[in-house]
């Protein structure tokens, strides 16, 4: 029999919540926190997953789920008695709260899979919901689509034969009126209009430019699946409607130019509505090249990924930093190879560096002797091709010593010879170009996270997440050599680092730490 929580029960819930927060914040592990009458919290082995504690069924673990649990506190035979999983323990109690807190603010939704089909065609799938946007020139005929979205009537976006290839037996068409009228199972959509269907919510976003008049009422789409919001822009320039968008998880933005935004304009658009992940599309067919897509990815104000035709990305990977060009953790314990955990740019140890598996800032590190120890890597990045950034942890060193340089190029990160402050030799080729120096000493024997970034117009230096120097800068000269970790670009005496280096990351866009 269910009873309403008394004042005592409310106090008990609050106390349990505090304990749960401690678990969430790492103050205590669930196995070590005691609930009512000294009962230990459920172990990880019996812990329900995020979907099982999504009591409100909105695919997000938050206060609504906590309110549902509190409403049934101490009830027996309740659907929110989920821990230990799967049968519970006969009452809604601390075990259930602990399980809830372990998944606090997590997305409890099933994975969403996005496939770029080329040009402006996108497939989005979540369980039984399969959505195609502007299917075009498809080789296969899967006929699995439950919802077909068309942005406008131009022939490179609206293809009746391809709609037939992807439409399942009960597929609905959502499109502007001029396209929708051709189909029996249709819903017309206009800019600003919202259409709610089982499992999905579609919002029309105005899409227009000089080649696509605003009066046509053509659209892009915001596609909401659970807590995720995906924006497929259609043929458009940067508009006030696009600038006003919020909470976009993934944005497909046209970057091919001529009929839509070019790469630079599309990258600029991300500065306004700040999607978590941006993907360039509308390239590789009649307009736009791979180089345009890559330029977009390097200069976007958010995480960005260039997809290949037919490539699929899961929502479980949307938070991955796709800008990482190389990442040396330097956590090895032995051997003469520094592995690139992001790809194949593995470094080769020179001299006799010492692996320090337990002495790094993040796990292990590499100790260099300041005489002839360094690491040589293959080519990773040409600084003249656009935005980039480099970050590393260092400890020790001395004035004039170099953290990272490019063979046949310049010193990217170093302790300046005049006083051990962070500096970079990356500069344009003009006669008045100078190295950029900070006033922050990095050779004080403490762990320091140092970095340099170039965004296309400025270069910045960072120490311990703080910008310590900045100036205007045009593109540095080209260089296609490999990298030296812990030595100057010419391997000159006095340029070898004496101390520890850890966790080096190179990004092909300007990253703020």
- CA pair distance 293, 288, nearest whole angstrom: 8
DSSP letters for 381-424: --GGGS-EEEEEEEEE--TT-EEEEETTS-EEEEE-TTTSEEEE
pLDDT the model gives residue 489: 97
**Residue 419 within a domain:** yes
Q: What is the dihedral of CA 70, 228, 308, 266, to 10 degrees?
A: -140
Whether the predicted pLDDT of 500 surpasses 90:
yes
pLDDT the model gives residue 118: 97
7-21, 57-71, 424-438: range with highest mean pLDDT:
424-438
Its pTM stands at: 0.76
Query: Which residues lie closer than 8 Å to 232 by C-beta, 6 or more apart?
Result: 122, 133, 149, 151, 220, 221, 223, 252
**Residue 108 within a domain:** no
**Residue 513 within a domain:** no
How confident is residue 12, by pLDDT bands cut at 50, 70 and 90?
Answer: low
| Judgement on whether residues 433 and 478 belong to the same structural domain of the protein | yes
Q: Tell me: the pLDDT tens digits for 400-451? A: 999 999 999 999 999 999 999 999 999 988 888 999 999 999 999 999 999 9
pLDDT the model gives residue 147: 98
Percent of the chain with pLDDT over 70: 91
| Judgement on whether residues 281 and 346 belong to the same structural domain of the protein | no
| Judgement on whether residues 91 and 141 belong to the same structural domain of the protein | no
What value, to the nearest 5°, has the Cα angle with vertex 417 and ends 413 and 419?
100
Domain end among 317, 342, 368: 317
**Residue 107 within a domain:** no
Secondary element (H or E) of residue 172:
strand 167-175
List the one residue out of 173, 124, 123, 129 whose CA is nearest residue 153.
Answer: 173
Beta bridge partners of 466: 463
| Judgement on whether residues 356 and 237 belong to the same structural domain of the protein | no
Query: Which residues lie closer than 8 Å to 421 by C-beta, 6 or more apart?
Result: 415, 437, 438, 439, 440, 441, 442
| Judgement on whether residues 309 and 330 belong to the same structural domain of the protein | no
Q: What is the chain's mean pLDDT, rounded?
A: 90
User: Once rounded to an integer, what is the mean pLDDT over residues 361-371?
Assistant: 97
Whether the predicted pLDDT of 138 surpasses 60:
yes
| Judgement on whether residues 284 and 335 belong to the same structural domain of the protein | no
Whether the predicted pLDDT of 366 surpasses 60:
yes
Q: How many domains does the chain have?
A: 3
60-64, 316-320, 462-466: range with highest mean pLDDT:
462-466
**Residue 62 within a domain:** yes
Please state, in angstroms and as integers, the Cα–Cα distance from residue 333 to each residue in 353, 358, 363, 396, following that order. Answer: 11, 9, 11, 20
Q: What is the dihedral of CA 32, 38, 42, 45, to 10 degrees?
A: 60
Contact 91, 107 (CB under 8 A): no
Q: Tell me: the pLDDT tens digits for 140-168? A: 999 999 999 999 999 999 999 999 999 99
Query: Which residues lie closer than 8 Å to 465 by C-beta, 6 or more apart?
Result: 449, 513
Higher pLDDT, 62 or 165: 165
SS3 content of the chain, % helix, strand, coil (to 5): 20, 35, 50
pLDDT the model gives residue 40: 44
CATH number of domain containing 361: 2.60.120.200
Q: Tell me: the pLDDT tens digits for 336-352? A: 999 999 999 999 999 99
List the one residue out of 283, 284, 251 whose CA is nearest residue 267.
Answer: 251
- CA pair distance 26, 196, nearest whole angstrom: 40
Q: Tell me: the pLDDT tens digits for 15-50? A: 555 555 544 444 433 333 333 433 444 455 577 888
Whether the predicted pLDDT of 60 surpasses 60:
yes
pLDDT the model gives residue 89: 87
Domain end among 269, 298, 317: 317
DSSP letters for 263-330: HHHHHHHHHHH--SEEEEES-SSSS--HHHHHHHHHH-SSEE-PPPTT-EEEGGGTTS-TTEEEEE--
pLDDT the model gives residue 17: 54
pLDDT the model gives residue 14: 55
Whether the predicted pLDDT of 357 surpasses 80:
yes
Please state, in angstroms and as integers, the Cα–Cα distance from residue 104 to each residue in 29, 65, 66, 87, following that order. Answer: 15, 10, 10, 21
CATH number of domain containing 158: 3.60.15.10
Domain end among 78, 102, 126: 102
Question: Which domain does 203 fall in, by range?
Answer: 113-317
């Amino acid at each position: 029999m269910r009873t309403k929580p008394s004042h005592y029960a409310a106090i008990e819930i609050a106390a349990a919540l505090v304990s749960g927060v401690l678990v969430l914040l790492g103050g205590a592990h669930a196995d070590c926190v005691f609930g009512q009458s000294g009962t230990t919290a459920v172990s990880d082995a019996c812990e329900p997953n995020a979907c099982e504690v999504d009591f409100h069924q909105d695919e997000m673990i938050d206060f609504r789920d906590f309110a549902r649990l509190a409403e049934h506190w101490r009830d027996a035979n309740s659907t929110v008695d989920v821990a230990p999983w799967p049968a519970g323990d006969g009452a809604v109690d601390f075990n259930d709260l602990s399980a809830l807190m372990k998944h606090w603010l997590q997305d409890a939704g099933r994975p969403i899979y996005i496939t770029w089909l080329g040009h402006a065609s996108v497939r989005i799938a979540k369980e039984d919901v399969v959505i195609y946007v502007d299917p075009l020139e498809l080789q296969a005929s899967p006929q699995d689509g439950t919802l077909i979205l068309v942005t406008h009537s131009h022939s490179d976006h609206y293809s009746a034969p391809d709609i037939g290839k992807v439409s399942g037996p009960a597929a609905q068409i959502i499109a502007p009126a001029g396209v929708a009228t051709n189909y029996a199972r249709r819903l017309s959509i206009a800019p600003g209009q919202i259409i709610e269907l089982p499992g999905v919510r579609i919002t029309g976003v105005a899409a227009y430019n000089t080649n696509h008049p605003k009066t046509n009422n053509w659209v892009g789409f915001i596609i909401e699946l659970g807590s995720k919001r995906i924006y497929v822009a259609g043929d458009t320039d940067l508009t006030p409607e696009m600038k006003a968008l919020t909470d976009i998880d993934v944005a497909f933005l046209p970057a091919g130019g001529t009929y839509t935004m070019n790469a630079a304009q599309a990258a600029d658009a991300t500065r306004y509505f700040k999607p978590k992940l941006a993907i360039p599309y509308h390239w590789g067919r009649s307009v736009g090249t791979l180089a345009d897509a890559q330029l977009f990815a390097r200069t976007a104000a958010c995480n960005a990924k260039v997809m290949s035709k037919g490539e699929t990305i899961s929502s479980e990977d949307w938070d991955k930093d796709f800008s990482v060009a190389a990442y040396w953790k330097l956590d090895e314990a032995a051997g003469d190879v520094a592995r690139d955990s992001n790809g194949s740019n593995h470094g080769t140890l020179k001299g006799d560096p010492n692996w320090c598996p337990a002495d790094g800032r993040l796990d292990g590190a590499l100790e260099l002797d300041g005489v002839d120890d360094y690491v040589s890597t293959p080519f990773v990045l040409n600084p003249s091709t656009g935005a980039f950034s480099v970050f590393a942890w260092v400890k020790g060193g001395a004035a004039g010593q170099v953290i990272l340089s490019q063979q046949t190029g310049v010193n990217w990160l170093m302790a300046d010879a005049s006083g051990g402050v962070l500096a970079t030799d990356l500069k344009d080729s003009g006669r008045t170009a100078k190295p950029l120096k900070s006033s922050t000493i990095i050779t004080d024997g403490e762990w320091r996270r140092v970095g340099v970034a170039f965004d296309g117009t400025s270069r910045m230096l960072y120490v311990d997440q703080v910008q310590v120097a900045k100036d205007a800068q045009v593109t540095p000269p080209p260089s296609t050599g490999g990298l030296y970790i812990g030595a100057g670009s010419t391997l000159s005496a006095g340029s070898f680092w004496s101390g520890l280096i850890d966790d080096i990351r190179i990004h092909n866009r300007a990253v703020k730490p």
